[in-house]
Amino acid sequence: MTRTAKHCIEDLLYIVQNIHPNANGCQIWTGTINDYGFAYYYMHQKSHLVHRLIFEHFYPEKAKNSNVIHLCKVKNCCNIQHMKQRSYDCGPKLSKEKATEIRSLYPSMSVNQLAMQYDVSTTTINLILKGKIWKT
Ligand SMILES: [Zn+2]
């Protein structure tokens, strides 16, 4: 389905009408909230996270392969100045224990398989295997 100009304007109006500033400078989404507390919007047969739509609009390049986090910790805040990109690997997904586990599984599992299993990049796996991060 192709997006028409009409769709875009309607979507934009809908989004704008559902965002209201609060005293802390947050732009609060008053529309639907998903189970995780994030602003959520159904459009073009697909659900979208509103803060992500906004971030992608302002920073299309940065938005690729990254999570968008809220610096204000308000999950349904839509203020672009309160958002920051975080690359997938920066989070505390792994622990020292997990890193030890990863080392013990190599080479019976490949770097690619380990990256998939632990949901991190192959770079992260390589760094662990080389003992550059989470040293034992
Ligand atoms: Zn905010």
Helix axis angle, 50-58 to 5-17, nearest 10°: 120
* Ligand 1 centre distance from Cα of residue 58 (Å): 16
* Ligand 1 centre distance from Cα of residue 84 (Å): 11
Yes or no: say if 136 and 100 are a contact pair by the CB < 8 Å rule. yes
Residue ranges of the domains in the chain?
Answer: 5-87, 96-129
What are phi and psi for residue 47, nearest 5 degrees? Answer: -95, 145
What pTM was computed for the model?
A: 0.59
* Ligand 1 centre distance from Cα of residue 136 (Å): 39
* Ligand 1 centre distance from Cα of residue 85 (Å): 14
Show Cβ contacts of residue 16 under 8 Å, excluding neighbours closer than 6 positions: none
* Ligand 1 centre distance from Cα of residue 80 (Å): 8
State pLDDT tens for residues 43-69: 778 888 999 989 988 888 887 767 788
Residues of the chain with pLDDT under 50: 1-2, 90
* Ligand 1 centre distance from Cα of residue 21 (Å): 9
Task: Specify the pLDDT at position 88.
Answer: 56
What are phi and psi for residue 111, nearest 5 degrees? Answer: -55, -40
